[in-house]
Structure 1
């Protein structure tokens, strides 16, 4: 792993507050460094401009005096001068540098070639003595060619810049500390609700019931929206857990009945010797209960597959053919029971999953034949891009208290508790409608019951 990769890995392992403070500190460091560099550059430029103006003025006055052969004029406070011949010998010099040439042989050669030299002696940091800025130029006089060197001391300029650096360093350091502290406090304050939510979630994971996060009602920011989202998720989790508990209880009840009957039939058969006819009757009874268990298991598996599958396999199919496929297996049952079974279907194509929609319509027809009286009517129409299937019977209808939970799993009206069925038919219909992006609705008409299945086509 590269150094950059190791740093990224290390940074990601830090707590969020630490990462935020580091990000603020790094950003502020860059900003303060840029600002300090700008201030230092502006001040240095102003000081250098003043120093160069003084040096240029002093150098020109020395050049004129050497050309005229007059006495060298005094310069600014702390200024120095030195006049050299072409061999580098000192002709005239200030007392402070009388025996020390200010130019090196290489610099002297450059000036003799006609170039004007500007050069600094000494450095800003570390601190050195006798820091100078000099200007050297070749001048032609009556006595021959001379090299005129004018120099001014940089002490005040360097001292001002060092003081500026110290002040910028102190100010930047204090600003960085203050910004980091403010960033830390801000991050802690911003993440405190998140930590509170995390504690609430941990309490929920520990088995707490009916837990809701304390979300302020007078705010609308990202954290409060997160709290509302988590509370909504908790509502759904609680509802899901309640449905699961109810499902397990109902499934246990529905499975217990056929198993108990089977056990009773077998116990009776084993209690004393039975004739062949009696044993055959017992086996038929056991077979019926086994088939009931198989039907119940298949219904549960179908519901689970519908709930867990991410999509349906839609395909164009004639609506008349689809309804006829669902209704045909029930026509003989309707004839034996003396019920009329009528269909009224639009002859048009719809885009649905026939694998699930056919048994859903079949369940509605089967319920109407078992619990209704008179005729059963199946209508299917397409309007505004939606297909509507209605199954109507002439029976007593649904008990009013049963309607709100008619599509729940194992929901059965009390009058039908002893009749054939598992209470999963309407739940299956509702699951098919939901998977298609549609709805299922049950109601009483005064003459019987009607169940409507509506979904996009």
Structure 2
């Protein structure tokens, strides 16, 4: 078997272009339909013509039988009709001028007619055209006490000519209909697949490095092609968002990791420049350890943000709101005690459907920020109203600078007063990412006596 023939006709058909396959499918289907329709029309017309021909032949046969029994002259039949009278041995006893003594019956037909069976037969064919096409009928008749075989025949010329004309017209009509249907199928397939070709061209442009590419999907209809276009556009949105996150992650990492790495290099270079006392080396190692921890915290924060941004969905599960809040502030209670600060919690005793894996560290970040940058009592309130969870952390500090509020949740954004303090500027960005992943919002504002950061989430 050759490679071209591998798989058979079905595999060959599947390798054809879609438009070609559609046109072939339309052509084959229309051929079957037209063939069936033409066959039905031909059968109905042929049946009607044969019935008329049979009626004429039967009437002629009966008139011959009556005349023979009455011993009168045999009557003329329909135009072009023939007759022949035979004895049981096949001898011609009488015949019309057009047929003479030519044998119309075969030996087997003669024998069957002599035994009393009716014999019917067509002489000549419809296609190819033959002369003297007849339909004959032979019966045994008793006349004057002697058996006779009467053969009556009528010409089929008009019937055959009508059927040939019908075949020609059906073939012409079917051929023209098949050509028209194939053309319409081709144009329809091309028109239906034209948007797909545009989508393919656009995808090729994207593969070649195109940016901000979106498919032009008509808004005035809803069919399989437009739904495909909308799906591809959503996929392009996801791809672009993923690319933006990737570029942002690389930019953030390179920007923020440069400083601690430079400090580490500087500390090590100074320590290696000349022999140092043990006290100075210990101090250098403490500084290096602090910078390494800062790198770890920063890397973890960046990875958490990237995971939140790239996840398709969060995993919600029922959890007691009081347990959630207690877990979130557990690590901050000692910090507040060491700083001589009060930390109060007011949580409703209810169950919420959230992802505690992300919400607990988000609340911990808010409380930690309030303890490090605020003053006075830190309050965490948690309440549920109309299927929405509202979490609010407030302090009694000076609040955010007004110009900083619009970008408080941006990555690495830090107010001027906090730039010399610990922190990477990713805490509030992480909080907003958690709120967005839950389908909620995060909001920061300066209250009358300090700062308030609020999370509003569906639960």
TM-score higher than 0.5 = yes
Contact 1:116 1:137 in 2 (8 A): yes
What residue in structure 1 maps to residue 343 of structure 2?
A: 341
What residue in structure 2 maps to residue 257 of structure 1?
A: 259
Q: Secondary structure at the match of 1:31?
A: helix
What residue in structure 1 maps to residue 389 of structure 2?
A: 387
Matches of 2:291 and 2:379 in 1, distance apart?
Answer: 31
Answer yes or no: is 1:370 the counterpart of 2:378: no
What residue in structure 1 maps to residue 171 of structure 2?
A: 169
In the TM superposition, what is the alpha-carbon distance from 1:358 to its structure 2 partner? 2.0
Answer yes or no: is 1:72 the counterpart of 2:77: no
Deviating more after overlay: 409-418 vs 365-374: 409-418
Matches of 1:315 and 1:210 in 2, distance apart?
Answer: 37
In the TM superposition, what is the alpha-carbon distance from 1:280 to its structure 2 partner? 0.6
Answer yes or no: is 1:442 the counterpart of 2:443: yes
Q: Secondary structure at the match of 1:379?
A: strand
Matches of 1:348 and 1:231 in 2, distance apart?
Answer: 41
In the TM superposition, what is the alpha-carbon distance from 1:13 to its structure 2 partner? 2.0
Matches of 1:415 and 1:80 in 2, distance apart?
Answer: 126
In the TM superposition, what is the alpha-carbon distance from 1:311 to its structure 2 partner? 5.8
Q: Any gaps of 5 or more consecutive residues in structure 1?
A: none
Q: Pick from 421, 438, 445: which aligns with 1:419?
A: 421
In the TM superposition, what is the alpha-carbon distance from 1:59 to its structure 2 partner? 1.3
In the TM superposition, what is the alpha-carbon distance from 1:81 to its structure 2 partner? 1.3
Contact 2:249 2:306 in 1 (8 A): no
Q: Secondary structure at the match of 1:157?
A: helix
In the TM superposition, what is the alpha-carbon distance from 1:315 to its structure 2 partner? 4.4
In the TM superposition, what is the alpha-carbon distance from 1:344 to its structure 2 partner? 0.3
Matches of 1:64 and 1:329 in 2, distance apart?
Answer: 125
After superposition, what is the alpha-carbon deviation per residue over 1:319-348, rounded to whole angstroms, capped at 9, x for unaligned? 212211210210121223333211001223
What residue in structure 2 maps to residue 244 of structure 1?
A: 246
Matches of 1:211 and 1:138 in 2, distance apart?
Answer: 92
Change (3 A) 1:9 1:400: farther
Q: Pick from 279, 286, 295: which aligns with 1:284?
A: 286
In the TM superposition, what is the alpha-carbon distance from 1:359 to its structure 2 partner? 1.8
After superposition, what is the alpha-carbon deviation per residue over 1:80-138, rounded to whole angstroms, capped at 9, x for unaligned? 11223333433323344444433334434444454433322232223333322122222
Contact 1:440 1:451 in 2 (8 A): no
Matches of 1:58 and 1:263 in 2, distance apart?
Answer: 124
In the TM superposition, what is the alpha-carbon distance from 1:154 to its structure 2 partner? 1.2
- RMSD of aligned C-alpha atoms? 3.0
What residue in structure 2 maps to residue 199 of structure 1?
A: 201
What residue in structure 1 maps to residue 211 of structure 2?
A: 209
Q: Secondary structure at the match of 2:447?
A: coil
In the TM superposition, what is the alpha-carbon distance from 1:287 to its structure 2 partner? 0.6
What residue in structure 1 maps to residue 185 of structure 2?
A: 183
Contact 2:245 2:309 in 1 (8 A): no
Q: What TM-score do the two structures reach when normalised by structure 1?
A: 0.88
Contact 1:442 1:449 in 2 (8 A): no
Deviating more after overlay: 91-100 vs 118-127: 91-100
Matches of 2:14 and 2:97 in 1, distance apart?
Answer: 66
Answer yes or no: is 1:87 the counterpart of 2:89: yes
After superposition, what is the alpha-carbon deviation per residue over 1:176-234, rounded to whole angstroms, capped at 9, x for unaligned? 222222322333233333323322322222123344445567x4354556556545554
In the TM superposition, what is the alpha-carbon distance from 1:283 to its structure 2 partner? 0.5
Matches of 1:400 and 1:261 in 2, distance apart?
Answer: 32
In the TM superposition, what is the alpha-carbon distance from 1:357 to its structure 2 partner? 2.7
After superposition, what is the alpha-carbon deviation per residue over 1:370-428, rounded to whole angstroms, capped at 9, x for unaligned? 22222211111233344332222233444555555544544444554443223333343
Contact 1:25 1:176 in 2 (8 A): yes
Answer yes or no: is 1:63 the counterpart of 2:74: no
Q: Secondary structure at the match of 2:381?
A: strand
What residue in structure 2 maps to residue 325 of structure 1?
A: 327
Matches of 1:110 and 1:430 in 2, distance apart?
Answer: 104
What residue in structure 2 maps to residue 453 of structure 1?
A: 455
In the TM superposition, what is the alpha-carbon distance from 1:15 to its structure 2 partner? 1.6
Q: Secondary structure at the match of 1:150?
A: strand
Q: Secondary structure at the match of 1:441?
A: strand
Matches of 2:275 and 2:143 in 1, distance apart?
Answer: 151
Change (3 A) 1:313 1:241: closer
Matches of 2:239 and 2:417 in 1, distance apart?
Answer: 33
Matches of 2:401 and 2:9 in 1, distance apart?
Answer: 69
In the TM superposition, what is the alpha-carbon distance from 1:309 to its structure 2 partner? 5.3
Deviating more after overlay: 344-353 vs 53-62: 344-353
Aligned pair count reads 454
Answer yes or no: is 1:12 the counterpart of 2:9: no
Change (3 A) 1:249 1:123: same
Change (3 A) 1:349 1:181: closer
Contact 1:429 1:440 in 2 (8 A): no
Matches of 1:169 and 1:276 in 2, distance apart?
Answer: 108
Change (3 A) 1:442 1:101: same
Deviating more after overlay: 357-366 vs 389-398: 389-398
Contact 2:253 2:302 in 1 (8 A): no
